């Protein structure tokens, strides 16, 4: 897999905890120091740092970071410091509980994760919010979308890699009869097949459907559904066809047009940095003619914020592997020494100069 974040060599949770404590001293915090430590450790290492910090100082590291940081900088650092399952559960809660329902995020989270991962997210959600994810999805959505999300969150998808051409042909015929062949749409048939068949089998079904009709399966959805249901189903089909391509498109859309969807940008880069971000970067550049790093840099420059906030977010994302720089044992030791030195000199740079 194409991860961009790796465990630090010669990792020392105690020394990192001391360095972070040093970074919190004085007026404000040493953001450069925080970035250099947290972005260059794996998630499991960050969690060990948090444990040591609490043991050594009797304080919760995440609460300390929240009290020291603000805005997007806080969001991305807290995301990095959070257990991946807990992070996804919290992202689901935000997608459901915010102003309106963020259906694309719900499709993304339920679409890219395995059955085991969805069940873990579901259990974590219930532990955090004392409410089942399924019941909250039912309460916040309706109609076709509600039934689609409930089918996805049950996590009953076949995960085998084998395919059956004959079964795929029969399912393609069933989908045709449930939609385009006759008046009216049997949405339960679409849900059952899209949410239960394996991803590999669904790709064969899509191919068989195209052979039968002369157009792709997305056209069928466009013809039979409308509004949020259509958008959600098309997003799910894109994810099933090619998960990496789908996430590259999600990143592009998060930066397309006026303003930036920082939540999606942060969620995808943080959550995929230890799995397949390298592959997503490659596909992104092939699709859009510009590297993901360059695209983020241009978007940040166009935001025209009056301070360093965008520069700080860009620096973090860059260090998470948008631009990979190999690190060795000496660089890890130098990071800790540099924190103390810069604190002593009182240097805190907040300009855009020299960040890229």
Mean pLDDT on 89-115 = 96
In the chain, domain spans: 13-69+326-345, 84-153, 165-241, 244-303
pLDDT at 334 over 50: no
Q: What is the pLDDT averaged over residues 84-96?
A: 97
Common-topology check for domains 13-69+326-345 and 165-241: yes
| pTM beyond 0.85, yes or no | yes
For position 21, what pLDDT does the model report? 95
Mean pLDDT of all residues in 108-135? 98
Q: What is the fold of 244-303?
A: Annexin V; domain 1 (1.10.220)
Mean pLDDT of the chain: 87
- Measured over all CA atoms, what is the biggest interatomic distance in the chain, rounded to whole angstroms? 76
What would the DSSP string read from start to end of 208-243?
A: HHHHHHSS-HHHHHHHH--HHHHHHHHHHHHHHH-H
- Cα separation, 200 vs 164, whole angstroms: 10
From residue 349, give the alpha-carbon distance in Å to each of 19, 27, 354.
18, 14, 10
For residues 229 and 191, is the Cβ–Cβ distance under 8 A?
no
The tokens of 255 are what?
A: 């930066």
Range of weakest confidence among 136-150, 185-199, 338-352: 338-352
Q: How far apart are CA 20 and CA 298, in angstroms?
A: 31
With 90 as the cut, is the pLDDT of residue 221 above it? yes
On whether the CB atoms of residues 340 and 22 are closer than 8 A, the answer is yes
The answer for residues whose C-beta is within 8 angstroms of residue 341's C-beta and 6 or more apart is none
Residues shown for the chain: 356
Burial 80-105 (b: 16+ CB within 10 A, else e): bbbebbebbbbbbbebbeeeebbbbb
In this predicted model, what pLDDT tens digit does every residue of 298-307 receive, in sequence order? Answer: 766 665 543 4
pLDDT tens-place string over residues 51-78 = 999 999 999 999 999 998 988 889 999 9
Smallest Cα–Cα separation from 229: which of 172, 179, 155, 266?
Answer: 179
Q: At what angle do helices 143-153 and 227-241 cross, to 10 degrees?
A: 30
**pLDDT tens, residue by residue, 238-268:** 999 999 999 999 999 998 877 789 899 999 9
CATH ID of 165-241, from 1.10.220.10, 3.40.50.300, 3.55.10.10, 3.30.470.10: 1.10.220.10
Cβ–Cβ < 8 Å for 117, 85 = yes
Q: What is the pLDDT of residue 301?
A: 62
| 39 has pLDDT over 80 | yes
Measuring CA to CA, which residue among 174, 242, 175, 168 is closest to residue 208?
168
Q: Indicate whether 356 pLDDT > 70.
A: no
Task: Kindly state the tokens that stand for 81.
Answer: 């410091």
* Three-state DSSP class for residue 160: coil
Asked whether residue 28 carries a pLDDT value surpassing 80, the answer given is no
Which pLDDT belongs to residue 355? Answer: 22
The pLDDT tens digits of the residues spanning 310-323 come to 566 667 776 776 65
Q: For 84-153, give the CATH class.
A: mainly alpha
Q: Using DSSP, state whether 341 is helix, strand or coil.
A: helix
Best CATH choice for the domain 13-69+326-345 from the list 3.40.50.300, 1.20.120.790, 1.10.220.10, 2.40.128.120: 1.10.220.10
Convert the pLDDT of each residue in 122-159 to its tens digit: 999 999 999 999 999 999 999 999 999 999 999 999 99
């Amino acid at each position: 897999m194409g991860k961009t974040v790796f465990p630090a060599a010669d990792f020392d949770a105690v020394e990192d905890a001391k360095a972070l404590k040093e970074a919190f001293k004085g007026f404000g915090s040493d953001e450069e120091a925080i970035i250099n430590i947290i972005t260059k450790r794996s998630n499991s290492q960050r969690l060990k740092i948090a444990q040591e910090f609490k043991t050594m100082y009797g304080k919760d590291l995440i609460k300390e970071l929240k009290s020291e940081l603000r805005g997007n900088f806080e969001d991305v650092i807290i995301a990095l410091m959070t257990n991946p399952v807990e992070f996804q559960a919290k992202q689901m809660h935000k997608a459901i509980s915010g102003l309106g329902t963020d259906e694309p995020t719900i499709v993304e989270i339920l679409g890219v994760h395995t059955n085991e991962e969805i069940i873990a997210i579901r259990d974590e959600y219930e532990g955090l919010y004392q409410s089942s994810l399924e019941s909250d999805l039912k309460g916040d959505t309706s109609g076709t979308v509600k039934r689609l999300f409930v089918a996805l969150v049950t996590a009953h998808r076949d995960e085998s890699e084998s395919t059956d051409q004959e079964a795929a042909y029969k399912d393609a015929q069933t989908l045709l009869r449930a939609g385009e062949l006759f008046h009216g749409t049997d949405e339960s048939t679409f849900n059952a097949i899209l949410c239960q068949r394996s991803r590999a089998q669904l790709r064969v079904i899509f191919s068989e459907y195209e052979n039968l009709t002369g157009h792709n399966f997305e056209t069928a959805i466009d013809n039979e559904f409308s509004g949020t249901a259509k958008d959600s189903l098309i997003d799910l089909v894109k994810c099933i066809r090619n998960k990496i391509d789908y996430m590259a498109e999600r990143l592009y859309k998060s930066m397309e047009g006026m303003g930036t969807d920082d939540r999606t940008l942060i969620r995808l880069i943080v959550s995929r940095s230890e799995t397949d971000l390298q592959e997503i970067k490659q596909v992104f550049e092939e699709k859009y003619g510009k590297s993901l790093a360059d695209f983020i840099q241009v978007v940040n420059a166009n935001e025209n914020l009056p301070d360093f906030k965008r520069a700080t977010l860009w620096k973090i994302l860059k260090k998470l592997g948008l631009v990979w720089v190999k690190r060795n044992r000496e660089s890890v030791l130098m990071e800790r020494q540099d924190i103390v030195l810069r604190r002593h000199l009182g240097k805190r740079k907040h300009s855009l100069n020299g960040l890229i």
